[in-house]
Amino acid sequence: MAYHSGYGAHGSKHRARAAPDPPPLFDDTSGGYSSQPGGYPAPGADVAFNVNHLIGDPMANMAMAYGGSIASHGKDMVHKELHRFVSVNKLKYFFAVDTAYVAKKLGLLVFPYTHQSWEVQYSRDVPLPPRQDLNAPDLYIPTMAFITYVLLAGMALGIQKRFSPEVLGLCASTALVWVVMEVLALLLGVYLATVRSDLSTFHLLAYSGYKYVGMILSVLTGLLFGSDGYYVALAWTSSALMYFIVRSLRTAALGPDSMGGPTPRQRLQLYLTLGAAAFQPLMIYWLTFHLVR
């Protein structure tokens, strides 16, 4: 019994002895350096040290403040130059549209013959935005129509097994360049004819861009019904656009009294209006005939 009692006491002493702590799975780097041999910093500690040093460095803070001031000054200069060449407020006016206006305007472009009043409406000598005046020109429809035309051209080229990024890019750039050249020619004509009106570059760009609607309808009809359908749609959209351009430029752009009259200036204004209208079907055909076969 004494032996067993002694064994038990000895065993109790062994059980009471504390076991050594296991080694930590990860080093503690919260203090910036670890307890690694040689006193080397733990990975990531030097980055934290450099960031704190950079933030606390007066020269770094001065450089950051100077860089921020330069960026702010550059931003102000860009906005100033942008407002100098392009009036953002005027540009917003041409995109002030809604769904009802877009639907009615598309109908007017396709069938303008029953429209009665073509004068742009004013409120306190300020023209009403397009969503409040159907006769006001806009840039939303020309922009969306140009994008749709490029997509439709890609589909037409794909159906004919002629699609390639280069051909599609050439088609899009050609359509855009011709519109820019048309606008420049109209600006020159307005300057030579000394037209006294509120006609601006945005107005001319809007009226020139409406041809994309006729181009879309002509190409789409040609894809569905062949070349015969294409030429029927081309004739209809061209005549409708010519009528629309003549009536719109007569009242909204060139003034209600600019058509007719014996003076040379009025004749120049008449020729400018008819020339701009007659140029539309030529452009529609030139930019769409190669898409329908």
Question: For residue 202, which of 138, 284, 136 has the smallest C-alpha distance?
Answer: 138
Pick 39 or 232 by higher pLDDT: 232
Q: Which residues contact 90 (CB under 8 A, 6 or more apart)?
A: 200, 202
User: At 58, is the secondary structure helix, strand, or coil?
Assistant: helix
Domain segments of the chain as ranges: 139-289
259 confidence band (pLDDT: 50, 70, 90)? very low
E runs forming strands in the chain: 122-123, 126-127
Q: What is the residue-averaged pLDDT of the chain?
A: 77
Give phi and psi for 193, each to the nearest 5. -85, -5
Q: What is the mean pLDDT of residues 246-253?
A: 76
Q: How many angstroms separate the CA atoms of 139 and 55, rounded?
A: 49
* Of the candidate ranges 33-42, 142-151, 277-286, the one whose mean pLDDT is the lowest: 33-42
- Supply the angle between the helices 58-85 and 45-56 in degrees, to the nearest 10: 70
Inter-residue contact 134 to 141 (CB < 8 Å): no
pTM of the model: 0.69
Amino acid type, 38: G
Question: For residue 209, which of 121, 283, 273 has the smallest C-alpha distance?
Answer: 283
What was the pLDDT predicted at 153?
92
Q: What is the mean pLDDT of residues 143-169?
A: 91
List pLDDT tens digits, range 197-225: 677 889 999 999 999 999 999 999 999 99
What was the pLDDT predicted at 263?
66
% of the chain at pLDDT higher than 70: 64
What was the pLDDT predicted at 77?
57
Q: What is the mean pLDDT of residues 60-66?
A: 55
Q: What is the mean pLDDT of residues 16-35?
A: 49
List pLDDT tens digits, range 107-152: 999 999 999 888 888 888 888 999 999 999 999 999 999 999 999 9
Q: How many angstroms separate the CA atoms of 141 and 213, rounded?
A: 8
What was the pLDDT predicted at 137?
93
